[in-house]
Structure 1
């Protein structure tokens, strides 16, 4: 069940969330702090010039029209729905064969060889709430994800405002404002970003997905070759006696214990 939830939610979260979420335990908190520090330093923008700062108020007014309060949450709900609804329609309503086998302690092929009706009947006996629990888990997970994305909205609005001020001159911003003041411009302002969640756009995007998935084995294989060509980690036999002693001393173990541990690890 957890694997199914993760398989559905992980790509959605990676595609939409501003930053990865980590478990909120002591180790997760420390890792989150490190990750936050890394992200804060990863993308640093040049301060706006005095001329650009002067354009910021008008740029902000335009961005508010493009991204009004609550916009990001609505857009993400539409986008998540467009992604999740087709995925959820393919999810099993009863416990799949692999989980039945694990629950009963039987080989998967034995369960898969069962008559489909009999297997579903057994699944319903074992876990009659399987589908309802999956739905409840996804509803909660997506609700929490949307909350996080809504909290991201003010930062996105501020960033867009500064980008407008940096990329457009004052006359250009005034031209955009004049266009937004028209009936067509007002409609464009409110729809220019929401259009990316339109079923036409989502459908076209999904059509490219099989091509990407088909090419992924090649990409992963070539990536592994490139990484392998860059060199491998050194084994016990590759280390000098001085290096072995230094590592063993740091671990408060003997060189023999170090050798045993490294050889066992490499054999896995």
Structure 2
């Protein structure tokens, strides 16, 4: 298979959400929060009331279930309408080779590579939406507590009281209860999605600039470059024997 064809197929398959979801990665270890000075209890109480207004319980579920399906569908439509030549640079194709790619869109390519692409996308995203809703709902109390601390540190007690008096009015209550979900409004998301084709077209150039910016750094070491101590430590970190780890290394030229 030519480099041009390999890059074209790889770029198309990058679009498959099922492939991304199927690659199970271990969850990153939770990092400890930096030590912060204590919050004045009175300000924290006022800030908690503020957060109750602007980030009421159930906000994440409202966002995920209320608007996510439409946004994902529109995003997939925007992505698959892109010409393949705008995407193949991400698969490692040089600009002069990318210019040889035809004008076919990602949707047209995926119709051949995966006739069930759209159904697979919809089903995969539905699962992701439901799982993300469950996870974010469980996380929401911690998020609300952190937001209350942030408000307590950023605003004085007088400012928090003033905000809470406004949020207690009909207009303030309406604004506060929708302040978070307004970022998901079609008027906002439509403008964000309009940027997507331009971002994808610029991505190969960005990758080239990142490559140039890191060109003077030492190359990542191969397993054969490691000392015996480093090999033993690497095997311990990965939970593998040194023999298994050595057997998983790519052969020369791969």
Matched residue, 1:109 = none
> Structure 1 residue 47 and structure 2 residue 31: aligned?
no
> Structure 1 residue 172 and structure 2 residue 159: aligned?
yes
**Aligned partner of 1:141 among 119, 128, 149:** 128
Matched residue, 1:197 = 184
CA contact (8 A) 1:76 1:149 kept: no
Matched residue, 1:111 = none
Note the 1:111-122 alignment, pairs <5 A. Answer: none
TM-score between the two structures when normalised by the length of structure 2:
0.64
> Structure 1 residue 71 and structure 2 residue 59: aligned?
yes
- What's the CA shift for 1:170? 0.6
**Aligned partner of 2:148 among 161, 165, 178:** 161
Higher relative contact order (CA 8 A, sep 6+): 2
**Aligned partner of 1:96 among 104, 111, 121:** 111
Matched residue, 1:57 = 45
CA contact (8 A) 1:63 1:160 kept: yes
Q: What is the aligned length? A: 204
Matched residue, 2:251 = 265
Deviations along 1:100-124, one digit per CA (max 9) or x if unpaired, are xxxxxxxxxxxxxxxxxxxxxxx6x
Matched residue, 1:217 = 204
> Structure 1 residue 7 and structure 2 residue 21: aligned?
no
CA contact (8 A) 1:63 1:157 kept: yes
Using the alignment, how far apart are the partners of 1:63 and 1:267 within structure 2?
57
- What's the CA shift for 1:57? 1.0
- What's the CA shift for 1:166? 0.6
SS in 1 for 2:214: helix
Over aligned residues, Cα RMSD in angstroms?
Answer: 4.0
Higher helix fraction: Structure 1 or Structure 2? 1
- What's the CA shift for 1:251? 5.4
